[in-house]
Each structure stands twice: as C-alpha cells, then as structure tokens.
C-alpha cells in the first residue's frame, strides 16, 4: 500500500504536532507502531496512520519535523487467543448520553442483551428514543429489517438500580468525563455487583489506574474505549494495567469480545488519552489555534479533508465530540504533561461559556439545523 505524504506545507504544519506525538508514543512504548496506525485509521478515519505518514515523508521534511523515524509497522500486538467466547452474555452500559447510546447500539446489534443503568426514568426513556431513531435510519437505509430492529430493541432494558446489572459479563461506564462523577459511579457499582464482574471505563482522558482507588482490589478493571459515533467506528482500545490481577486473561477476554461484537481491538498502555485521544485531541486544539490566528472555520476544515483526506474537518470533529468533552480531555492530559500545546485554546473556552457545545446543542464552530 502506498501512503501519500501531506500535500502541502500548510497541511504538514498543522499535522506536525500529531506526527511528533505519534513517534513519542511509540518511543514510550504506549503502543506498537502498527497499533498506533490502526488506531488512527479506525478510531479517527484517517486514510493513513501517522507512523505510515512519517515513513512516507521526504527525509528533508522529516528532518524539519525533528522526529526520529520510528520502526516500520510490523503487525498488530493483538493475536487470536484461546479465550474467544469468554464474554458471550449480557453487557451492562452505564449512562445515557451520546457515547452510551452508541455503545448500546453496537453491542445490541451484535446479538448480546444490554442492561443500561440510567440516572432517571426520563434519561432512560431518552436513550431508548435515540436508539429507536438510529435504528429507524438503519432500516430506511436497508441495513436492518423491521424484525431485526425490533430484536435489537428487545435486547435492551433499562434500570435505575446498579444491582440490576448483576449477571452481566462486563459493565462499561460511559458517564460524564469528570473524575468525581466517574469515581462515584464506579464506587456505587462496586458496592452493588459481585466482585468478579469486570468494570470497564470508556474514559476519554483518565487512566484506568485513576479509578482503581474507588473499587475493591480484587475486581477486574479495564478500559474499553469506543469512538464517536460508537455504532459506526470500528476501533476499541483495550487497556488493562499490568498490575491488575490476571491481567493477561482479562486482556484476552476483552480483545476477543471486542472482535466478536464486530470491532477491531488494539492494546495500549494505561496513559492519559490512550492512543487516539492523546494524538487526536491536541491536534484538534492545534486546528482551533489555527482558526484563532484568522483562518476561517471552513478553510481549516477543508485544509485537512482536502489536503490530508481526513473524513471530517477538525473543527467539525470537535463539534461531533463536543466542545465540553474536548476541553475536559485537554485539561486532563495537560494536568500530567508539561506541554503548552495541550492547554485548551481560548476559543474552546469561549464557545463552551456561550453554551455552544457542538452538534448536541445545535452549534459549535459550525451551526446545525438538526442533531443526528
Ligand atoms: N452520529 C451517529 N451516527 C452517524 C453520524 C453521527 N454524527 N454520522 C454518521 N453516522 C453513521 C450513520 O449510521 C451513517 O449511516 P446511515 O447514513 O446509513 O444512517 C454512517 O455513520 C455512515 O455515515 P455517512 O454515510 O454520512 O458516512 P461518512 O462517510 O460521512 O462517515 C463518519 C461518517 C463515520 C462519522 C466519518 O465522518 C468519520 O469517520 N469521522 C471521524 C470520526 C472520528 O474521528 N471519531 C473519533 C472522535 S474521538 C472519540 O470519539 C473519542 C472520545 O473519547 C472523545
């Protein structure tokens, strides 16, 4: 496969931080070069992974970027394992927001029952409404028939009681990106569920280890990190800290499960942002700064869609992720990395303060007539 290097100096300039960070993640051992590339292809839809792009750059461009060329991708770390089929039963999902409903749809469409833990009956009903509309769209596009739609809905049940998730193979929390909120949620689940049930976080920017103090020592904990829109994007980052008991078995069960629900798993170390968000979110911040320097929103987006083949412009992507989520992720990563590039750009703070959180509020950098 031939990978095209970025088409212009302007494109390379805005991608520089991402490419440098990718080389850094490989150097730190966060993930293999192949998994870094798979992560960005399947988690962000990039036409080529950053290590592949670095390899395709002319030597003079690489010298200008001042990165050591990392080893060539040599294959993924995730291989077929004997534990396939360890988690074939019901799955718990905690939360009713955009990520939660995408995960519910992805899992339920794979044939597994899903038990959703909602805060209130109203938020549970909202999740079911959003799920129904998404399935309607799949039916109207011929991707699902009416009977299949009903089967998916029949597999999803909602409870407001953490103990209602008893009997699930794994529970995935997808609540607000706030450590206090996540800590309270995993603490409540830990108190309500048998200690053998693994608790997974879908965090954008915390480490699994940041949540460990809030659960009992014997409970398996991990991250199963999905990407927005979760029913569409193929990647799941599987993160099991090495000091979790029986870490290898847990990793194997989780990666097999991710494959069985139709996703591609990669593995990475337990560091803030894992692979995709550690690369993508600071890059989105760079794009916001480029806009702040006077480049119109549409031009910033076109630079990357037309110049680098990205499926969405970075500012449209911030709108999809949510400006509040983007700021929270940047702040969480900035707290542990001394890099001024990661501090949220002022325009992000200003738009959040004005209530423009992205698609979910009808507008962010762009305006939307309707949210999907
Ligand atoms: N919400 C829900 N579903 C959506 C959607 C949205 N905003 N946009 C598209 N879809 C779904 C629909 O089901 C659609 O199928 P349908 O049209 O038959 O209903 C399907 O995706 C394909 O949509 P399109 O035909 O419009 O396809 P596109 O070619 O435009 O692709 C995309 C859409 C897959 C969203 C593509 O633009 C893409 O890959 N964008 C990059 C997304 C990305 O980078 N995500 C990662 C963000 S980081 C993250 O999530 C981590 C978190 O921790 C912050």
Q: What tens digit of pLDDT does each residue of 102-127 get? A: 999 999 999 999 999 999 999 999 99
pLDDT at 84: 62
Q: What is the DSSP string of 113-156?
A: -EEEE-SSHHHHHHHHHHHHHHHHHHHHTTSS-HHHHHHHHHHE
The better pLDDT of the pair 59, 134 is held by 134
Strand boundaries in the chain, DSSP class E: 91-94, 114-117, 156-159, 170-173, 199-201, 221-225, 235-239, 264-267
CATH classification number, 81-267, choose in 3.40.718.10, 3.40.50.720, 3.30.360.10, 3.40.50.2000: 3.40.50.720
**Tens of pLDDT, residues 214-232:** 999 899 999 999 999 999 9
Q: Is 230 in the pocket of ligand 1 (CB under 6 A)?
A: no
Mean pLDDT of 310-336: 96
* Dist. CA 207 → ligand 1 center (Å): 26
Q: Is 185 in the pocket of ligand 1 (CB under 6 A)?
A: no
For residues 98 and 320, the answer to whether their CB atoms sit within 8 Å is: no
Nearest atom in ligand 1 to 228's CA: 50
Q: Is 277 in the pocket of ligand 1 (CB under 6 A)?
A: yes
Closest C-alpha residue for ligand 1 atom 44: 44
- For the chain, the 3-state helix, strand and coil shares in percent, each to the nearest 5, are 50, 10, 40
pLDDT at 371: 47
The better pLDDT of the pair 61, 185 is held by 185
* Residue 76 scores a pLDDT above 60: no
pLDDT at 14: 95
pLDDT at 62: 81
Q: What is the pTM of this model?
A: 0.94
Mean pLDDT of 276-298: 97
pLDDT at 34: 94
Prior bond to 229 cis, omega within 30?
A: yes
The neighbour count for residue 63, using CB atoms within 10 Å, is 10
Give me the residue label for tokens 């001394």: 338
DSSP state of 355: T
Mean pLDDT over each residue of the chain, to the nearest integer: 93
For residues 105 and 144, the answer to whether their CB atoms sit within 8 Å is: no
Lowest mean pLDDT among 56-60, 194-198, 274-278: 56-60
Cα dist from 369 to 87, 131, 300, whole Å: 41, 20, 21
Q: Quick one: pLDDT band at residue 3, thresholds 50, 70, 90?
A: low
Q: Is 321 in the pocket of ligand 1 (CB under 6 A)?
A: yes
Q: Is 204 in the pocket of ligand 1 (CB under 6 A)?
A: yes
Mean pLDDT of 160-183: 97
Cα dist from 367 to 273, 296, 305, 315, whole Å: 28, 14, 19, 11
Q: Which helix (H) or strand (E) holds 104?
A: helix 98-109
In sequence order, what are the beta bridge partners of 237?
225, 266
For residues 271 and 262, the answer to whether their CB atoms sit within 8 Å is: no
* Residue 289 scores a pLDDT above 70: yes
The neighbour count for residue 277, using CB atoms within 10 Å, is 27
* Dist. CA 319 → ligand 1 center (Å): 12
Residue ranges of alpha helices (H) inside 193-275 are 208-211, 247-260
Closest C-alpha residue for ligand 1 atom 53: 204
Closest C-alpha residue for ligand 1 atom 22: 232
Whose CA is closest to 300, among 59, 15, 19? 15
Mean pLDDT of 131-145: 97
The domains of the chain are located at 9-71+275-361, 81-267
Mutate to test the pocket of ligand 1, among 229, 235, 264 (most ligand atoms within 8 A of CB): 229
Closest C-alpha residue for ligand 1 atom 20: 232
Cα dist from 301 to 172, 207, 348, whole Å: 33, 30, 16
Domain 9-71+275-361 sits in CATH at 1.10.1040.50
């Amino acid at each position: 496969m031939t990978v095209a290097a970025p088409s212009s100096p302007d494109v390379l300039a805005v991608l520089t931080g991402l490419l440098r960070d990718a080389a850094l993640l490989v150097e730190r051992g966060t993930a293999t070069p192949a998994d870094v590339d798979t992560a960005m292809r399947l988690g962000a839809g990039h036409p080529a992974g950053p290590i592949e792009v670095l390899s395709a750059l002319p030597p003079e461009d690489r010298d200008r970027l001042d990165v050591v060329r990392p080893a060539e991708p040599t294959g993924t770390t995730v291989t077929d394992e004997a534990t396939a089929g360890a988690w074939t039963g019901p799955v718990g999902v905690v939360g009713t927001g955009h990520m939660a409903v995408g995960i519910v749809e992805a899992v339920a469409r794979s044939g597994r029952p899903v038990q959703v833990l909602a805060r209130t009956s109203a938020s549970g009903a909202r999740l079911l409404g959003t799920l129904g509309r998404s399935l309607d769209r799949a039916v109207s596009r011929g991707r699902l028939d009416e009977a299949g739609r009903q089967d998916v809905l029949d597999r999803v049940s909602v409870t407001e009681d953490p103990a209602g998730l008893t009997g699930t193979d794994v529970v995935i929390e997808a609540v607000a990106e706030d450590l206090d909120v996540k800590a309270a949620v995993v603490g409540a689940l830990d108190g309500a569920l048998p200690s053998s049930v693994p608790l997974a976080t879908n965090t954008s920017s915390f480490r699994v280890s940041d949540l460990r103090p809030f659960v009992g020592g014997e409970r398996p904990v991990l991250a199963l990190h999905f990407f927005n829109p979760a029913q569409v994007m193929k990647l799941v980052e599987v993160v099991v800290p090495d000091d979790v008991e029986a870490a290898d078995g847990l990793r194997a069960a989780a990666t097999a499960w991710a494959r069985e629900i139709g996703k591609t798993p990669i593995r990475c170390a337990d560091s803030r942002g894992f692979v995709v968000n550690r690369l993508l979110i600071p890059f989105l911040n760079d794009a916001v700064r480029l806009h702040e320097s006077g480049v119109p929103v549409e031009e910033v987006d076109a630079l990357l869609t037309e110049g680098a083949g990205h499926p969405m412009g970075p500012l449209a992507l911030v709108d999809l992720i949510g400006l509040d989520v983007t700021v929270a992720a940047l702040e969480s990563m900035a707290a542990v990395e001394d890099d001024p590039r990661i501090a949220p750009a002022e325009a992000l703070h200003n738009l959040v303060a004005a209530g423009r959180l992205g698609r979910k509020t009808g507008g962010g950098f762009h305006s939307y007539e309707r949210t999907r």
